[in-house]
A = this chain, B = another copy of it.
Amino acid sequence: MPRVVDHDVQREEVLLATMRTLAAHGPRGTTVRRIAAEAGVSTGFITHYFRDKGEVLAQALRLCNERSQERVAARLEGLEGLDAVRALIGAVLPLDEDRLLTWKIWLSFWGRSGGDEPLGREQRRGRESWRAALRRLLGDAQRAGAIRPDLDPAYEAERLVVLVGGIGLQSQTRGARSFRRKAWAYVEDHLESLMAPAPGADPAFSPDTHRVDTGESP
């Protein structure tokens, strides 16, 4: 059924065009006319396939969140402990054009959905699924002894959500290149304060220094 496939492709084209329009003009400036011009389709195509502008925006946000989840899944594969936590965070840090665009879109909606369902529902779904994944991975890392036993994974997940949100916000105002290095430094400095000391390790030495000091070959 090539006709159906074509329409699915065109529908996704419209949603990608909506994402670009959102990033450039915000939700209020994202009109059906602008989306149509950006996608290279008629406004009739859009009004035929979407109920209204609200539905286009909600579907574009959903696509944006799905792509973010795909980045998460691709990075998490085979990782555990703090490496998994780092991968989950890295998947949403605004360190390349795709993720910068994602943050621009997330921020453009922030605090704006009001009673506007299903947009508000999609916003909450995206945030909550990321926070829940973070909480789970922090719990895993804690059980594996990588994170201090006195910490509460749910609370620490919230602190990391706040940190990553702050980084997303700053990414819209700073020189992108120098910011990339700093973004990871902020995350690493935060994670360091959560880490459990390695069992039996001399706290004055990192594992590598320790190994050299004892003269053992690796």
Contacts and interface: CB of A to CB of B under 8 A. Distances in A.
Interface of A: 25-26, 28-29, 104, 107, 110-112, 123, 127, 155, 158-159, 161-170, 172-173, 182, 185-186, 189, 193
Contact of A164 (B107, B110, B158, B166): B166
Nearest to A113: B173
Nearest to A183: B162
Contacts of A158: 182, 186
A96 to B, nearest CB: 17
Given A28-B28, A166-B164, A107 B110 contact: yes
Contact of A104 (B107, B111, B163): B111
Given A162-B186, A165-B165, A173 B127 contact: yes
Nearest to A156: B189
Contacts of A167: 162, 166
A162 B166 contact: yes
A25 B170 CA distance: 23
Counting chain B CB atoms within 10 Å of each CB, the highest count among A159, A169, A186, A189 belongs to A169
- Which A-B residue pairs are the 3 nearest by beta carbons? A166-B166, A111-B172, A162-B166
A207 B90 CA distance: 39
Contacts of A25: 28
A165 B107 CA distance: 12
A182 B162 CA distance: 11
A189 B160 CA distance: 12
Contact of A26 (B26, B162, B182, B189): B26
